[in-house]
Each structure stands twice: as structure tokens, then as C-alpha cells.
Amino acid sequence: MRVDEYLTYDATGLAQLVAAKEVTAAEVLAVARERSAAVNPRINAIVADIPEADAQVAGDGPSGPFAGVPFLVKDLAQEYQGHPTTYGSRSLVDDVAEEHSYFTQSALDAGLVIFGKTNTPEFGSKGITEPELFGAARNPWNTDHTPGGSSGGSGAAVGAGIVPAAGANDGGGSIRIPAACNGLVGLKTTRGLLPLGPQSLDASNGFVVQGVVTRTVRDAAGLYDALIGDQPMAMIHAPHPGASFSEAIAAAPRKLRIGFTSTSSITAPDPEAIAAVEDAAKALEALGHDVEEVEAPYDAAELGRDFLTIWFASAAAEVAEAKLRVGAKNADFEADTLAVAELGRAGGVVAVELAHINRRNHVRRLSAFHETYDLLLTPTLAKPPLKVGQLTTPKALQTAARVLHKVHGGRVMRATGMIDQLVAENLGWVPYTQLANITGRPAISVPTYRTAAGLPLGIQLSGQLGDDGLLLQVAAQLEQAKPWVEHWPTL
């Protein structure tokens, strides 16, 4: 198999070739590595090798519905036994996993051949992927731009054709943001459908779910069918869908009522983000759905403050846990991480509990919206993918952050309005994705639009609890109406 042939197949297609013995798992792995050697130096998507893949493809090779398909896991909460899981942090470079995560074991059971780990920002805390430990991951469509985050390495690897699908997870948009940046499909599932564990059982108060980024809808459906399963130690369980997602996408969805909006109280969206949603709205209307513009059913700035209050408290716990468990020192963490950890520590229990009360209010407002509308359509990104380095904190502020963390100056930081500043700066280009995490609802990014400069710019569809299959059905309709798989970056 040649690289140009490899690029024409999605994961489902490759699995069919291996099953038919038209190509071996070892041959496919060799081509994936060849593609990686050619493009990874330019995009910095893969940051660690997993040589056990060679044993996996030896002899008769693996078994399972995706037997022989090359795959990558994220270097965050997708532990591979015997290898460090760094979370993009110097503090965890020697933190070797004693066992596979549920996600990794499920991927191996499905026959996926895991040969590397992908780049991620420190503790997955940003919508970009520029850790000091590994350096910036870059967008294969234009390497001056970000592939998003925190699953940016996975998004870049799939976007560049190293693998047809890769592991990702999503605590505030970390599947959907890189999907949008790299021209991919990214489904954040209903909370509890694909849980974490056994290492991290309830990351960020249940915000985080495991998942994948893929080039095709059928790969997303088939991979979730293969990966979803009951995990006895999981903190949260969602009812398993009755029918498989692969069966669901074989049929068109019922006629839906869809409300769309581009507005955000955090930022004025870029005209191309607005155009992306209007374009998708027209396509959905042409497919027979009732589509109308609506007011946003939530206040993005208020939700952003609640989201970051809880997220910062989790960051404080992560830093404290790393210090206790592996003896990490302040110098082992990035300045930005120490800053948000200090903000979380200084906020105290009351602020977090108030954010949780508000979280229930966000659920109520969204539920009221769904009494009228089946789905909510928004941009995935408020702006095209940012340039690498655009959100880098100036050195002087990094120094100040380290000092304030050391002296427990979080109250001073909070008094300056830093949380509102961080909402505007860090969520300003991605204000639409946190809603699904804070409410536990499913949402999918679909790559139906490209900017005038040729960068992907996704649209997001959000549904009610358990609407994962419905979202995939609609995504499959859009894939037929506005196909994207023939588009490839030039690297």
C-alpha cells in the first residue's frame, strides 16, 4: 500500500481491507509511520512513540471491528500501560501508567493499532496546543495557525492524514475545537456514555468525556459503537443507546426544528463564523428541516465565568495532586497553570458551589429551549483558527504569575477582574463549546465551511441528553449535502 492509496481510506475502509486480507495490519502500520515521518516534523502532532504496536500487528494481527487500523491516543487521560502520561506537563514526564485507561483498553479490544501519543497543552487547559514541554502543534492547513486544543495533536494528525481517527477528550470543547480547526468530525457525547477511568474518574466535576476525532461520520459512528461500554468504576453512567450509531446514520432523521444563532455575550463573532452558520442553516433547510434564527438560550459570559470557576478549582487540585503524588515543584509547571491554580485556590468552596447552582440554571434554560427546538446550531469557533503564539502570555506576566502563586496572591488576582479577562481572552474565540460540558449534553462539530484563506471552520449542533445518534444522523446528512472528505491540506 502506498501513502496516496492510504489517504483515500477512512478507518472503516481500512478495516475492511485488512479483514478481506487485501493488505496486512503490518503493511498499514508501516504506511502510517511513513506518513508520520513525512509530515509530523512540520505539525508536531505526535510526541511519543508506542513500539508495542509492532507486536500487535505481528502474526495474524489484532482482532475486532477496526482490526489493523492505525490509531493514536492523546497524552492526557488516555493512559497506555508502561508509558508516561505527561498531560503536556514537565511535572509528569516520569509518571508511568501502571495500567491502560478504559479508553485505551477499549481501543485495543476494537483492534486499533496504537503507535503513538499526541500533543496536548498542559493539563488540557487551553483551546490551543502549545505546551512548553513539547512545543506547539500546528495546523496542517496552514502551519502558522493552531490546530486547536486541547486535543490539538490528535486533530492535526488526523487532518494531515497520519491516521484516519485518533483519541481525544473534551472538557470544554477539546474534541470539537480541534475538529473545527482541522476539518474533522468531532462528537462530544452525552456525559457518562464514554467515561474516564480508572485513573481519573470524574475530571473537572464531570465536564470531561472521552472520544475521537475522525474524517468521516461513519468512522465516528462505528468507533463510538466499538468504544462505548459499561465501566464498573465509572462515576457517571449514561443509558446505552438502544440501536448502534452505525445503524442510525443509515437512515435519515425525522424532520427537525432547529434554532440557530451566532451571537455571544463574550465576543462579536467573525463574519466568516456567521457565514458558516448561515450556510449550514440553508443546507439543513434544503434537507427538509425547519430552521429559524433564535436568541441564544444562555448568557455566554455568565456561563464562561461559572465554567472557569469550576475549571480553575480543578486546576488547583491537579497541581496539588501532582505535588503530593510525584513530588512536583512549582518550577515543573507552566506559569499560566500556576496562575489559574491560584485563582481556583483563592476562590474557595463557596464560589465553586455557587457556580454549580448556576450550572443547574443553565440546564433549565437549555431544557426550556428544547421544548421548542430539537437542536441548537451555532458556530464551533467564533473566529478562524488563531495564529500560533497569539495567546502566549508575556514574559513579565508569567513572572508575576509565579510570584503571586508562591505568595498565595489569588485574592489580589481575583480583585483585578482577571477571571473576566480570562473569559474574554481564552474563551473569546471559542464561546460556544462550554455549554455542552457544563450541562452534560451532546454536541458535534461538522466541517461544512472553509474560510476565504482556506482554513476549516466548523459548525456545531447541540442536542438533548441521549441525542448522540440524532446528531450523527444530521451530520451524515450534511456530509452528503456538503462533502468534505475530498479536501486535503498541502504539506
Interval 53-76 mean pLDDT: 97
CA gap 77, 85 in Å, rounded: 7
For the cut 90, the answer to whether the pLDDT of residue 204 exceeds it is: no
CA gap 16, 13 in Å, rounded: 5
Interval 349-367 mean pLDDT: 94
**Which segment of 167-176, 189-198, 221-230, 235-244 scores lowest on mean pLDDT?**
235-244
Provide the residue type at 125 as one letter: S
Higher pLDDT, 192 or 424: 192
Confidence of residue 126 (pLDDT cuts 50, 70, 90): very high
pLDDT at 419: 66
Confidence of residue 147 (pLDDT cuts 50, 70, 90): very high
Q: What is the pLDDT of residues 205-234, one digit of tens each?
A: 789 999 999 999 999 999 999 999 877 777
- 74 an active-site residue? yes
Please choose, from the candidates 23, 16, 11, 169, the residue with its C-alpha nearest in 3D space to the C-alpha of residue 103: 169
Q: What is the pLDDT of residues 130-140, one digit of tens each?
A: 999 999 999 99
For the cut 70, the answer to whether the pLDDT of residue 83 exceeds it is: yes
pLDDT at 14: 98
CA gap 304, 382 in Å, rounded: 14
pLDDT at 418: 67
Interval 87-112 mean pLDDT: 97
CA gap 60, 107 in Å, rounded: 18
Q: Give backbone dihedrals phi and psi of 115, rounded to 5 degrees, phi first.
A: -120, 5
Provide the residue type at 402 as one letter: R
pLDDT at 235: 78
> Which 3 state secondary structure label does DSSP give 21?
coil
Q: What is the pLDDT of residues 295-312, one digit of tens each?
A: 999 999 999 999 999 999
CA gap 401, 399 in Å, rounded: 5
Inter-residue contact 471 to 461 (CB < 8 Å): yes
- Of the candidates 36, 89, 106, 150, the residue annotated as catalytic is 150
Cis amide bond preceding 241, omega within 30: no
pLDDT at 415: 74
What residues pair up with 379 in beta bridges, in sequence order?
459
Interval 309-331 mean pLDDT: 94
Interval 118-122 mean pLDDT: 98
For the cut 80, the answer to whether the pLDDT of residue 413 exceeds it is: no
Q: What is the pLDDT of residues 160-187, one digit of tens each?
A: 999 999 999 999 999 999 999 999 999 9
- 150 an active-site residue? yes
Q: What is the pLDDT of residues 432-480, one digit of tens each?
A: 999 999 999 999 999 999 999 999 999 999 999 999 999 999 999 999 9
pLDDT at 32: 98
- Strand ordering across the sheet containing 290-293: 165-170, 209-214, 185-188, 443-446, 459-462, 375-379, 257-260, 290-293
H helices present in 20-174, as ranges: 25-43, 52-57, 102-109, 152-159
Interval 244-263 mean pLDDT: 97
Higher pLDDT, 416 or 269: 269
- Of the candidates 36, 89, 101, 174, the residue annotated as catalytic is 174
Interval 26-30 mean pLDDT: 98
- 262 an active-site residue? no
CB atoms within 10 A of CB 261: 18
Q: What's the grid cell of residue 327?
A: 513530588
- Of the candidates 74, 117, 126, 188, the residue annotated as catalytic is 74
Confidence of residue 242 (pLDDT cuts 50, 70, 90): confident
Provide the residue type at 71 as one letter: F
In this structure, what DSSP letter does residue 255 have? P
Per the prediction, the chain carries an average pLDDT of 94
pLDDT at 330: 96
pLDDT at 401: 82
pLDDT at 424: 72
Interval 141-151 mean pLDDT: 98
